[in-house]
Amino acid sequence: MKRVFTLCFFISLLIAVQAKEFNSVKEMPSNKDIFIMFSIPSCPWCERQLKVLKKIKENRDNFEYMKVQDDNIIYEELIENYAFPIEVYPTSFIVKKEEGELHIRYEFQGYQKRSNILKILDSDDDF
């Protein structure tokens, strides 16, 4: 019984730190830093970046991250309505949602170490 409980606990932790799936900007929270990572399925650096983001999420309640590919529902909305220039993968943005609109705080081109992301999250400066 104890093993079953322990297994369920670890599964719930894994689910809790998974990338969120938002179908529109309206669904995104207003009170958090949101890390949007544009990726493609064949990108090994994108997968490495997700591991870094999971580690950050484990220690921050005010942080969400999402992986966006061209087959995601939200992809078209983001590309059409916001200045998200995508030239390399992963390309990522830290955004805040205010009054229903996304505001880009910072842009990253390529894979980023945890320390680089935390430095921006802990800064009061915007892009």
pTM, two decimals, is 0.81
pLDDT recorded at residue 7? 44
How would you write the pLDDT of the chain (127 residues) with one tens digit per residue?
Answer: 555 444 444 444 443 446 678 889 999 999 899 999 999 999 999 999 999 999 999 999 999 999 999 999 999 999 999 988 899 999 999 999 999 999 999 999 999 999 999 999 998 876 6
> Please, which residues bridge with residue 33 across strands?
63
Rounded Cα distance between 35 and 67, Å, is 9
pLDDT recorded at residue 2? 59
Q: Which domains does the chain have, with CATH numbers?
A: 2-121 (3.40.30.10)
Rounded Cα distance between 34 and 28, Å, is 8
Rounded Cα distance between 99 and 71, Å, is 27
Cis-peptide, bond into residue 29, ω within 30° of zero: no
Residue 54: burial class (beta carbons within 10 Å; 0-12, 13-18, 19+): middle
pLDDT recorded at residue 20? 74
Tokens of residue 82, six digits: 């916001």
Strand, coil or helix: 11? helix
